[in-house]
Amino acid sequence: MKLKRLIIQGFKSFKDRTIIQFEEGITGIVGPNGCGKSNIVDALFWVMGEQSAKHLRGASMKDVIFAGSSKYNPGAWAEVSLILGNEAGKHIHIGQKVCNPTEIQLTRKLYRNGESEYKINNTQSRLRDIQEVFMDTGAGSKSYSIIAQGEINRLVQAKPEERRTIIEEVAGITKFKARKKESLRKIDQTHSNIARLNDLKNEIEKNLRSLKSQAERAEKAKSLKEKIKKNDLVTNSHKVYDLLTKLKQGKGSVSQKKLDLAERIEERESIELALEEEKIVKDEGIQKIESLQDDFNRDSKELASDESKLQGFYKIR
Ligand code: ATP
């Protein structure tokens, strides 16, 4: 993996877009004191993912944004892109994909409001993906392939553990160590997931037991309901049978009563007829009695007149 180009804009003293081309062999940057040579190295650190403002010789990360000058206003953002040649065909993450492009362009941008962006080949990426590009390469913001001013002393005086880190990085086992760390973290997570799953399993089993007894009770209730329904059916059919029998009997007694009524009506009619006839006979008798009375009265009158006539006759004599 080779450095091809570094594009700096708005970063520290580089107000304008500046392209630094790295040709084959050694590239030397010369210039007067304070012209910005170390700022180029800072730009390299920064685009590789450096997170320490102190390591970039600033108090806060925003110090990397062009601070302005007597002629120019401060910049709103700083952006650095590093173009690497991927001759070895290293596989890297770009977004969700894993691929091995021939050129890798890493971009980091920081806005004055603190918002920052990482991109690989113009695709939004994570800082982790950028750091992964340098794993096993011996390069990187934390590597010793870039030695800043005053760092030689620190390297010479490094503790054995720090030296070990350097050797591991150069030997290319950092990636495996990182993977081991990640795997151990995943194992830990899996263990806690298993523990959680066991808790869940216990909880589910507990719920299952209570659900089972609920289901048994529901089943019992269901069969009891069915029994009640069956018994209701039998009772109702008996009731219907009784009612039908009573209805039949009632119908029989109604027709008997109808017959009796018809007989009574007939009897009444015949009695009424007899009464009518008797009345006629009685009326005829009364008429007869009345005419007899009339006859009697007339005869009595005649007799009385005859008697008076007779008495007159005797007096005369
Ligand atoms: P030396 O040879 O003395 O080590 P150098 O060439 O490495 O110097 P640098 O340290 O890279 O110089 O640059 C320092 C310059 O960068 C200073 O002039 C400083 O004002 C300027 N500088 C640093 N940060 C910013 C910033 N945020 N905005 C504008 N200019 C900045």
* CB distance 62 to ligand 1 below 6 Å: no
For the segment 70-98, the average pLDDT, to the nearest whole number, is: 93
Q: Quick one: average pLDDT of 195-201?
A: 96
pLDDT greater than 80 at residue 265: yes
Check pLDDT > 80 for residue 242.
yes
* pLDDT (0 to 100) of residue 143: 62
Q: Atom 23 in ligand 1: which residue has the minimum CA distance?
A: 12
Taken in order 266, 271, 274, 276, is the CA torsion positive or negative? Answer: negative
pLDDT digits (tens, 9 = 90+) for 127-164: 989 988 887 666 666 665 677 676 677 667 888 888 78
pLDDT at 170: 63
36 close to ligand 1 (CB < 6 Angstrom): yes
12 lines ligand 1 (CB under 6 A): yes
For residue 263, pLDDT beyond 90? yes
The CA distance from 239 to 247, in Å, is: 12
Question: Ligand 1 within 6 A of 157 CB?
Answer: no
As a whole number of angstroms, the distance between CA 47 and CA 3 comes to 12
Nearest CA to ligand 1 atom 29: 13
Q: Per-residue pLDDT for 172 more than 70?
A: no
- Whether 66 lines ligand 1, by a CB cut-off of 6 Å, is yes
pLDDT at 317 over 70: no
* Spatial separation of the C-alpha atoms in residues 21 and 8, rounded to whole Å: 11
Q: What whole-number percentage of the chain has pLDDT above 90?
A: 71
Q: What percent of the chain has pLDDT over 70?
A: 92
Ranges 72-76, 89-93, 132-136, 303-307: which has the least confidence: 132-136
Give the integer Cα–Cα distance in Å for 3 and 145: 12
Dist. CA 307 → ligand 1 center (Å): 193
Q: Using the structure block, give the residue that is written with the tokens 């019992």.
A: 220
Please tell me if the CB atom of residue 37 comes closer than 6 angstroms to any atom of ligand 1. yes
Label residue 183 by pLDDT band (50, 70, 90): very high
Model confidence at 55, pLDDT cuts 50, 70, 90, reads confident
- Categorize the per-residue pLDDT at 47 as very low, low, confident or very high, splitting at 50, 70 and 90: very high
Beta-bridge mates of residue 85: 2, 103
Nearest CA residue ID for atom 17, ligand 1: 34
CA distances from 120 to 126, 153, 239 (A): 9, 34, 89
The finding on whether 58 has its CB within 6 A of some atom of ligand 1 is: no
Q: Is the pLDDT of residue 241 over 70?
A: yes
Burial of 57 (C-beta count, 10 Å sphere; 0-12/13-18/19+)? middle
Q: What does pLDDT average to over the chain?
A: 90
Beta bridge partners of 119: 107, 124
49 CA → ligand 1 middle, Å: 20
pLDDT value of position 132: 87
31 in contact with ligand 1, CB cutoff 6 A:
yes
Q: Region 208-226: what's the mean pLDDT?
A: 95
Say if ligand 1 is within 6 A of residue 34 CB: yes
Atom of ligand 1 nearest to the CA of 64: 27
